[in-house]
Amino acid sequence: MDANQQQSAPSTPSAYLTFLERQLTADGCATRWEDWAGVPVLVGRRAEFRLRWMGTKLHLFTVAAAVPEITVQAISGFTDQVMKYAKDTKGGLPVGFQNGIGAFPLLVSDRVDPAAVQWAEAQQRVKFACMTRPVVVDSSRQYVGMYRGKPVLGRVYASYFNEKSSRYFHGH
């Protein structure tokens, strides 16, 4: 991790969520806090249309929560919850009709199973017109684990996801 990432990444889970909310707002996302079964969850949302995306509108959701510990089961389950939430709240035309959903399901903790980081970094998860890039933030090490490659499915959106993740999660 370079010095810029270390300086901009807060060292506690709650401080990280405050930082993330600022980054999302600065990028023009609508943000709000919700209660998901007793857990405060930050939801950031924006939509963009680009011709180079084959004329589609992408609805990008960033959904983040601080948890006591991050395991593979925790980030996998949270990713599924976020995808369902995004599909249920997107509105407009159905997904796939010149509409897509992108999501960054993010969990932050100072106790992180290395297997959870590996799971998040391994691949982008894709279901019909819905792409998720799970994010695991280890606040004790100031480390952000997520997929940063160019997947076969959804490749046209890869640079957008990489640019947004750099801006939101590292503060660049």
Name the phi and psi angles at 82, rounded to 5. -65, -40
Q: What is the pLDDT of residue 153?
A: 54
Residue 4 has pLDDT above 50, yes or no: no
The whole-angstrom distance between residue 158's C-alpha and the CA centroid of its chain comes to: 13
Terminal-residue alpha carbon distance, the chain? 13
Contact 138, 110 (CB under 8 A): yes
Name the phi and psi angles at 28, rounded to 5. 85, 15
pLDDT (tens digit, 9 = 90+) per residue, 28-38? 999 999 999 99
pLDDT (tens digit, 9 = 90+) per residue, 61-84? 999 999 999 999 999 999 999 999
pLDDT (tens digit, 9 = 90+) per residue, 136-158? 999 998 899 998 877 655 556 77
Residue corresponding to tokens 């640079």: 159
pLDDT (tens digit, 9 = 90+) per residue, 70-123? 999 999 999 999 999 998 887 655 555 566 788 999 999 999 999 999 999 998
Report the amino acid identity of residue 3. A
Q: What is the largest CA-CA distance in the chain?
A: 43
CA–CA dist 10, 16 (Å, integer): 5
Q: What is the pLDDT of residue 119?
A: 96
CA–CA dist 43, 22 (Å, integer): 12
Tell me the pLDDT band of 129, cut-offs 50, 70 and 90: low
Q: What is the pLDDT of residue 3?
A: 34
Residue corresponding to tokens 């982008």: 124
Sequence-distant (≥ 6) Cβ neighbours of residue 129 within 8 angstroms: 95, 96, 99, 100, 101
pLDDT (tens digit, 9 = 90+) per residue, 48-65? 765 555 556 788 999 999
DSSP structure string for 9-36: S-SSHHHHHHHHHHHHHHTT-EEEEEEE
